[in-house]
Structures are given as structure tokens and as C-alpha cells.
Amino acid sequence: MAARSCRPLLPDPKARPTISVPEAGELLGLGRSASYEAAKRGDIPTISIGRTLKVPTAKVLHLLGLTA
């Protein structure tokens, strides 16, 4: 039986240009509430579409020191 990794996979910015705030927070090691608080403070870059917040995948990868 193969071991499962608990680490989230890094999304490809070309395939998924945006991700949800909780997904971005998970990549950064944050929980759901902390993710939305960080987005509200501007620590996680977001795009507002109506009442929906999306996070540009490339910007999250840049925050992690990875190239998009």
C-alpha cells in the first residue's frame, strides 16, 4: 500500500489561474478562519468577483518563493 502525503499539491497557474482563499491558506499552513483573516489584512492577495474572493495562483506560489 502506498503512503499518502498530507501535503497539498501545488496547483499549476496555467491550469488553475485562481484558487479559493482556504486553498491558498492551506498551502501557506493556515486554517480556514486564519486564511480569511490574512486575506482581509492583505497578507494573501485576492481578487473580488462580486461577493466571491479568489486568490491568483501565481501570487501564492511567489509568496512561497516558487516560480509560476
Give me the chain's average pLDDT, please. Answer: 89
Residue percentage of the chain with pLDDT more than 90: 71
Question: Which of 30, 5, 6, 4 shows the shortest CA–CA distance to 60?
Answer: 30
Residue 39 has a pLDDT of 97
Residue 4 has a pLDDT of 60
Residue 44 has a pLDDT of 97
The residue among 67 and 52 whose pLDDT is bigger is 52
Residue 3 has a pLDDT of 60
Model confidence at 10: pLDDT above 90: no
